[in-house]
Amino acid sequence: MTATPPARWEGLTCTQRRIKDFTLDDNLPDLGTPPETSRRHEPVAGAGALEVLPIEILDEVLHQLDLRSLTYLRLVNRRTMGLVDALPQYSDIIRHASNALRGILAIGTGSWISCKALHTSLCTARCELCRDFGGFLYLLTCKRVCFLCLSLNDVLLPLPPSHACRKFGLKRHHLADLPQMKTVPGTYSPNRKNILRPDTLVDHEHARLAGINLHGSLAAMEQYVSQKQARMLEAYNARQTERDSSGRPVRARRRPPALDPLDGQSGNPHRFVAIARVPWLDRASRRVERGFYCGGCEKSSRKPCHWRILFAADTFEEHLANCGEIKDGKHCTT
């Protein structure tokens, strides 16, 4: 059952804004029909050693598998397909978050995300960073997030490996075991920026923690990075001075890249390449909530009345209590 705003809020809310975000799920191939989860024929082959496990234990084992392994297991034969499809958590994912599952497999993060983790995020209502209602999943680490956090918070900005190494004082081999992805070429962000080829991106927070662990502390990491950047800039300036003052030709050297290039925030396509719009599934009621927008916030760009904030019924009650009732399309505090 899909939840809608209560009738008493009719005319005060809307389910869509007049803008398209162009997230990962907008760039996945159109399947036409949902994935098939029913068995058309009885299985001939068995599931091997898995057959000796009681079904309760088998379910517990399977739903803790990473999604890449679970997908491979499902493709072995009709018997293993039936076992996976019978998992309540997997069934919920296929029904309500199939775009997230397809996105995870498309960008290659299935090895880091379990079926249990994706189902837990599906059943989580609020953004893990700010606690507003979260209408999206960040598919590098399977976090439930809101639009403002995914477009503004550095934690949700995946980085090219060269940038991660430069920013956190790492070498390429330090990134090998960190969550990373391959971008799906397409159009991303409300500004419709194109990504033309598959590129590798690394999760920001895992790279930051790797840098801290390598250098011993946040302060030591920042000092190392700052000193290295200063040495590179000094060498560049010396080279330029030599080139300008001598009559000898000196090959031009590219200026060292900045530690933090211009972000662009909601116009940065890298902020949307691992994002899927996923509703909240209430475990108890089995109600599905996609969220809605406040009609009194349509022209505001500041929290707590930002026009991109999504609400569920309980968070909208809090919003009205904090910002006032809505009259003539605006909040009234008196």
State the residue for tokens 């933090």.
Answer: 260
The CA distance from 151 to 134, in Å, is 13
Query: Is the per-residue pLDDT at 91 higher than 90?
Result: yes
Confidence of residue 289 (pLDDT cuts 50, 70, 90): very high
Lowest model confidence (mean pLDDT) among 4-18, 24-38, 95-109: 24-38
Query: What average pLDDT is seen over the chain?
Result: 88
pLDDT in tens, 144-162: 999 999 999 999 999 999 9
pLDDT number for residue 322: 86
pLDDT (mean) for 303-322? 90
Prediction pTM value: 0.87
- Rounded to 10 deg, the angle between the 67-74 and 115-122 helix axes is 110
Cβ 197 vs Cβ 185: under 8 Å: yes
pLDDT (mean) for 292-315? 90
Lowest model confidence (mean pLDDT) among 23-37, 96-110, 163-177, 279-293: 23-37
Closest CA to 276 of 94, 22, 30, 31: 22
**Other Cβ atoms closer than 10 A to 57:** 11
pLDDT (mean) for 47-61? 73
pLDDT number for residue 80: 84
pLDDT (mean) for 30-39? 56
pLDDT (mean) for 95-117? 96
pLDDT number for residue 53: 65
Domain ranges within the chain, ordered by starting residue? 31-122, 159-273
**Percentage of the chain exceeding pLDDT 90:** 60
Query: Is the per-residue pLDDT at 309 higher than 90?
Result: yes
pLDDT in tens, 195-243: 999 999 999 999 999 999 999 999 999 999 999 988 988 887 777 777 7
Query: Is the per-residue pLDDT at 1 higher than 70?
Result: no
